[in-house]
Amino acid sequence: MKSRLLSTISACAIAFVSLTAQAVPVIGQGTWETTLQGRDLDGNAATYEAYYDTTLDITWLADANVNLMTWDAANTWAANLNVNGVTGWRLPTLVDTGAPGCDFANTGTDCGYNVQTGSAATTVYSEMASLFYDTLGNLGYYDTGGNRRPQPGWGLTNTGPFSNFQSNNYWSGLEYALNATTGAWYFYFSDGSQYGGNKSNSGYALAVRPGDVSAVPVPAAVWLFGSGLIGLLGLARRKR
């Protein structure tokens, strides 16, 4: 039954039709104004290249518009990402709770809508679901009761401080347990759903990095300039 459900969902939901979100930062919706702290990674304090998530203890890349790609390509892109010297990036992940694979429901599970995001014990069950539901305060297509009519205000209405957020599927870094060879999890930012899909399909990618990135890396040229300046000062003192 689960495999049949997954096949149906994958055939319909993983169409990956590109839809650019028209949402903007919504003041007072969600916790993003206090949860996300801007991080300058290029030395220009006027802009932020990343945001530290104080709830999840990870750093999100600010630009969410990465070209459509397969799951393997998305993982490779994240692993090789170098933002002005900051490396160690990955795709967001989740916890496959209950039985392996999709445990579909409209609340509190790992698959479907209103999935579990966290717990009082600080366990993070889905980083992207936490961003969508908790941090940005968006609503899923179905409410927690599974009503067939879409609830008012559903969808990616708030993108917070992120740029180029797509109302579409974003890959998770976790493979799908029932078929890890060809399957992986994804989160659909259009309607707040989380499912497993085929790795060969195309999806978007968000890059995250464990922990905080607070300092701007100093370019090698600056170090060389500084070293040379110190040497000249030392020489001048010796001449005196």
Higher pLDDT, 15 or 178: 178
What percentage of the chain exceeds 90 in pLDDT?
75
> If you ran DSSP here, which 8-state letter would residue 43 be given?
S
Q: Give 221's pLDDT tier (boundaries 50, 70, 90).
A: very low
Cβ atoms of residues 159 and 136 within 8 Å: yes
Q: Give 17's pLDDT tier (boundaries 50, 70, 90).
A: very low
Q: Give 121's pLDDT tier (boundaries 50, 70, 90).
A: confident
Q: Is the pLDDT of residue 50 over 90?
A: yes
Place of tokens 């992940």: 93
Which range has the worst mean pLDDT, 2-6, 28-32, 38-42, 138-142?
Answer: 2-6
Task: Tell me which residue of 31, 30, 49, 24 sits closest to 39, measured CA to CA.
Answer: 49
Which tokens in the block code for residue 81? 């990402």
Domain that holds residue 172: 2-239
Backbone angles phi, psi at 150, to 5 degrees: -65, 140
Q: Is the pLDDT of residue 38 over 70?
A: yes
Q: Which residues of 149-180 are buried (b: 16+ CB within 10 A; e: fewer)?
A: eeeeebbbbbbbebeebbbbbbbbbbbbeeee
Q: Give 220's pLDDT tier (boundaries 50, 70, 90).
A: very low
Cβ atoms of residues 68 and 80 within 8 Å: no
63-73: pLDDT as tens digits: 998 889 999 99
Task: Tell me which residue of 204, 181, 165 sits closest to 16, measured CA to CA.
Answer: 204
pLDDT at 66: 84
Q: How many domains does the chain have?
A: 1
The mean predicted confidence, pLDDT, of the chain is 86
User: Residue 203: CB partners within 8 Å, gap ≥ 6?
Assistant: 14, 16, 68, 69, 70, 71, 74, 168, 169, 170, 171, 186, 197
